[in-house]
């Protein structure tokens, strides 16, 4: 059973699979049969360790590149079949913030030209109109437009560059914002500033967000619901409070046990460590992908892929032996 589609869902991701071809006919199974439905104005956090397929899923939603299989619908519009001008027009409604705030900005362009580029490509406004909108957006993300407009990315800190990236992503007034590890390259204090900025802009602009991170503490801060991925597959999905209070999948419990307690006086807590290495996405294990590292694995786990089933209202997990 897949997570049911809500009638009020704004972003529908159905059976998304991403495979990258290798020499010799082999494939990297980056994402397999991923399904999630996000309501308008909601933030869905997507978490998992490095290499689990989070970024591949995010880029597939953006059609960069297109998914191998599956469907992505935004407000009822199927995106995977769009091409050329139609896709360019649709992309005004969904934008992305990338992981590296400095590498994602052209070092040879001024901040004015970087932020105005989406408007120019879309053919929106006159040069004077675009300059005015760029100045307004830079101020909105907390930068002094007069000081920033004619400078170049190397003259800014990492946090400031990420604010510029946010301004560029929002200049077209999109409905959906995909944040791919948007704060992982920043210092902790700067992370908090950027996260608070995203929360403010989400409320002000009515954004729907897909927030990808390997940091569960960050995801808890910004997400309404959380989806947990392992080796390209969705293993648990629930609202943020339920995921952190009562995870039922062994992998989710392992991830949460590794989150440090931000209290120097708190007693040390027991970490649920697992043995073994992350399996190769080129040759994933049979049955449950986590069973090679799971302390609760059985013969059933090796023989049969667990279905994503509803364990409690709104709480889904793909596990043959979930925790109570």
Instruction: Read off the pLDDT of residues 240-289 as tens digits, 9 standing for 90 and up.
Output: 999 999 999 999 998 888 777 666 776 665 666 677 778 899 999 999 99
Angle between helices 111-122 and 158-170 (to 10 degrees): 20
Angstrom distance (rounded) from CA 257 to CA 32: 26
Q: Is residue 195 part of a domain?
A: yes
CATH code of 211's domain: 3.40.50.300
- Bridge partners (DSSP) of residue 43 are 209
Q: Is residue 3 part of a domain?
A: no
- Bridge partners (DSSP) of residue 96 are 178
107 pLDDT band, cuts 50/70/90, is very high
- Domain of 241? 9-261+270-317
Which of helix, strand or coil describes residue 37? strand
Alpha helices (H) along 8-83: 54-61
Q: Is residue 305 part of a domain?
A: yes
Q: Is residue 47 part of a domain?
A: yes
Q: Are 111 and 153 in contact (CB under 8 A)?
A: yes
Ranges 71-85, 116-130, 191-205: which has the least confidence: 191-205
Q: Give Cα separations from 269 to 260, 261, 266 (angstroms).
A: 9, 8, 8
Q: Is residue 2 part of a domain?
A: no
Domain tally, the chain: 1
Angstrom distance (rounded) from CA 222 to CA 196: 9
Q: Is residue 1 part of a domain?
A: no
pLDDT digits (tens, 9 = 90+) for 2-57: 554 555 689 999 999 999 999 988 999 999 999 999 999 999 999 998 888 999 99
């Amino acid at each position: 059973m897949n997570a049911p589609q809500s009638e009020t869902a704004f972003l529908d991701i159905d059976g998304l699979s991403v495979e990258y071809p290798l020499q010799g006919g082999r494939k990297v199974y980056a994402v397999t049969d991923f399904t999630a439905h996000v309501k308008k104005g909601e933030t869905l956090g997507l978490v998992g360790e490095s290499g689990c397929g989070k970024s591949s899923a995010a880029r597939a939603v953006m059609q960069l590149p297109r998914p191998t299989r599956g469907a992505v619908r935004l407000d009822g519009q199927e995106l995977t079949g769009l091409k050329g001008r139609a896709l360019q027009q649709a992309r005004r409604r969904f934008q992305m913030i990338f992981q590296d705030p400095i590498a994602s900005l052209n070092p040879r362009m001024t901040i004015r030209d970087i932020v105005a580029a989406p408007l120019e490509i879309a053919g929106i406004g006159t040069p004077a109109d675009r300059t005015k909108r760029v100045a307004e957006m830079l101020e909105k993300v907390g930068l002094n437009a007069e000081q920033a407009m004619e400078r170049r990315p190397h003259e800014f800190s990492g946090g400031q560059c990420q604010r510029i990236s946010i301004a560029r992503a929002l200049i077209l007034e999109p409905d959906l914002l995909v944040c791919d590890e948007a704060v992982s390259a920043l210092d902790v204090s700067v992370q908090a500033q950027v996260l608070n900025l995203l929360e403010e802009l989400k409320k002000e602009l009515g954004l729907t967000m897909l927030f990808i991170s390997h940091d569960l503490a960050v995801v808890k801060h910004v997400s309404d619901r959380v989806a947990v991925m392992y080796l390209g597959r969705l293993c648990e999905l629930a609202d943020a409070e339920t995921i952190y209070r009562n995870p039922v999948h062994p992998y989710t419990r392992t991830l949460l046990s590794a989150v440090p307690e931000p209290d120097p006086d708190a007693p040390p807590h027991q970490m649920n460590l697992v043995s073994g290495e992350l399996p190769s996405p080129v040759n994933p294990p049979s049955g449950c992908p986590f069973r090679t590292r799971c302390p609760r694995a059985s013969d059933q786990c090796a023989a049969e892929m667990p279905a994503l089933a509803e364990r409690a209202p709104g709480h889904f997990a793909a596990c043959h032996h979930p925790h109570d």
